[in-house]
Structure 1
Amino acid sequence: MIKYCLPFALGTLLLQGCVTSTVDEMVFNEPVEGIGDATVVILGRRHASDYETEPDFIECVGDHISSRDKTITVVDEIEFVNSLYPWFEPRTAPLHPADIERLLEQEPVAERMRELKTEYMIWIDGVTVRSDSAGSMTCGIGPGGAGCFGFGTWSNDSNYEAVIWDFTDRAEVGRVNTTASGQSYMPAVVVPIPIIAPVQGTACDGIGDQLLEFLSSEY
């Protein structure tokens, strides 16, 4: 478990936006020397009706991987889904590794996968939610100008799981789970000052680092 705190001093009051993060890893078949010229695609699960894995989180994980190992090519999620329409739309996307064989029986899918050189597909399922809001704030305009006074606080909780599929072996080869939670604050003495705990960013870094250990020859 890792805890991060972002201090902020307001007069004599020290406020902190803290994030607590945990990462669990379970890898079944780890590459020895990276993935060569093959590519990776990272996709968000969006088949559930009550939430979707945020596209900006998927983009964050992809950027984390490609920025730290320039030899890894991460295929853009939107480009991948559009080029393989309709097989990766929410209602038709494969849910289990056993579906890989069925997918590759579709010649347009198999051909496009060969063109993209996609060896690993990483499904990320999860969401960041806001809860436990408290406090109040009042804003107004008077003879001396406009201003806000008050104090607010809220919690954010992230829970994401990444499942790695190997299209060469037609199998699931690993998974990573990360959770993060944090408390953010909004004090206001004339001007509201947000003190945001970077919960989603911390979860992105945690899951990105673990995926790099799996994919990269440099880790």
Structure 2
Amino acid sequence: MHEEDDPDEVSAGPTPAGEDERLVRSVLRVCDAVGTFIEYWGFKAIHGRVWALLALRAEPMAQIEIAQMLGVSRSLISGAIAELTTHGLVRAVGDHRNAPYIAVMDFWPTIADVLRSREWMLLEQARLALEAAVQAAERSAEAGTPVRFDVGRMQILLALTELGQTLLRTLISARAPRVPERLGGWLRGATGLVRKLRRAV
């Protein structure tokens, strides 16, 4: 459920005393944008909004403050904070019940986990399907059965899929020292395959 569906959602509270109302509105727009973007990575929009607010805030924020500023219910924030904490994206400052929270800025490990568990599997499914199609076409050709599919293009698409997996593997290990060299090799390989694909069309 997204925060827009939450029955306890309330309108954003008044701007805290001493704060620039225009700045607060601008920050909230950033939070909304991050919320929309982070949905792509398998999270809910509220996760992105909460994380962005904590990331931009100069000091830790209590859950009630987050709820008031985002204009959502305390229960929605409580659930979002619990999930973000589990993913290592926010952490409490202190160990008391109402401890405020800050954003963990090193969020790449979480993104890498999503890439590894979702995008990698999608590419692997495509690779296996293409590999099976190539093998079936080759068997048909060997048996003398007419093949009305372009095996060369199948092989190029298979190579492109494998190249996509190589790029994904490089992104997942983005902290490795040789990543720039790996990306350079990937780009050279991709350029060659695209040229082959154009010639095959």
TM value normalised by structure 2: 0.27
More strand by share: 1
TM value normalised by structure 1: 0.25
The structure with higher relative contact order (CA 8 Å, sep 6+) is: 1
Larger radius of gyration: 2
